Amino acid sequence: MTTRLHAPMAAGADFTDLSARLSAAQEKLMQSEKLASIGQLAAGVAHEINNPVGYVFSNIGTLEKYVADLFRMLAAYEAAEPLLAGTAAAAGLAALRREIELDYLKDDIPALMTETLEGVKRVRKIVQDLKDFSHVDQRQDWEWSDLHRGIDSTLNIVNNEIKYRAEVVKQYGSLPEVQCLASELNQVFLNLLVNAAHAVDKDRGTITVRTGADCAGEPGDGGDGGDRVWVEVEDDGCGIPKENLSRIFDPFFTTKAIGKGTGLGLSLSYGIVKKHAGRIDVDSQPGRGTRFRVTIPVRHAGARVAA
């Protein structure tokens, strides 16, 4: 009887261990596939947009020169108008000037050119931010990166998701460069920012992004006990019920409506932060908002640095 009782227990323990390993492997696979998909999407969009934007930008520069030459010619014609006073040609020119509102066009065309050029520059900035977000031009090695640049790039990427819901307030501290997997951290920032926007339950809320550095952090979680940096994303939205706080990092757990969320964002973010030997903390009060803080070491112990 004793043997019969112990055998199922051992089998159960083996099954539990196998299940845990399968869950960990599944989580890593989901994270890897999602990050690869996002990187490929960003790289593809950046490539497809970059070429047409390049020649549009070039053409606008050429067009500006042509318009300047045409304005010089127009000024010469205007200077000659008094010589035609009292003739039928002068009357026709005056009528045409009124019909096309020449004075208005002379003011508006340069303004239109300036606005168009500014728009194209913004598109080029978005393309660059897509490259920064995905790091499509770099290998996925541990490297020294500017977190503020990563946050700003990510904010630009998700601007359309946020701008109608909330105002973004930046409270950046002084940060050193951090040894990290930059594109993966950008994915964490993206998840936190999108979640913050979705949490806003009023006409317009506020999302605050803070950064700072702590010297001589405590050892643990694979870190080296050295300097650490932190990034906070805080919203003034609906908050998270207390009974859900312990589950928010579980894979597939979501309080969003069916089809509105996969429940993987925070789970993937947790895995990325743990890979960086860091921690992610949450403070939330229903009806008052939520604050997430990501803390990672400045130097990652055992990192394989790009040559």
Average pLDDT of the chain?
Answer: 79
Confidence band of 278 (pLDDT split at 50, 70, 90): very high
Instruction: Give the dihedral sign, CA 28/29/35/39.
Output: positive
Mean pLDDT of 240-260: 65
Tell me, rounded to whole angstroms, the distance of Cα 220 from its chain centroid.
30
CATH architecture of 141-297: 2-Layer Sandwich (3.30)
Angle at 184 between CA 178 and CA 187, to 5 degrees: 115
Confidence grade of residue 228 (pLDDT, cut at 50, 70, 90): very high
Banded model confidence at residue 219, pLDDT cuts 50, 70, 90 = very low
Q: Is the pLDDT of residue 34 over 80?
A: no
Mean pLDDT of 140-153: 89
Q: CB–CB of 282/210 below 8 Å? A: no
CB atoms within 10 A of CB 226: 13
Give the model's pLDDT for residue 155. 92
Phi, psi of 178 (to 5 degrees): -120, 140
| Domain definitions of the chain by residue range | 1-137, 141-297
User: According to the model, what pLDDT value does residue 189 have?
Assistant: 93
Q: Output the pTM of the full model.
A: 0.56
Q: Is residue 306 over pLDDT 60?
A: no
Residue 276, token pair as written in the block: 């960086």
pLDDT reported for residue 220: 43
**Which segments of the chain are extended strands (E)?**
143-145, 166-171, 178-180, 205-214, 228-235, 279-285, 289-297
* Residue 298 pLDDT exceeds 90: yes
Instruction: Return the H-helix or E-strand segment holding 217.
Output: none
Gap between the Cα atoms of 65 and 190, Å rounded: 41
Write down the pLDDT at residue 54.
Answer: 81
Question: What number of helices (H) and strands (E) belong to the chain?
Answer: 8, 7
Three-state secondary structure call for residue 268: helix
The predicted-structure confidence for 38-78, as pLDDT tens digits, reads as follows 555 666 666 677 778 887 888 888 999 999 999 999 999 88
pLDDT at 166: 93
pLDDT (average), residues 76-104: 88
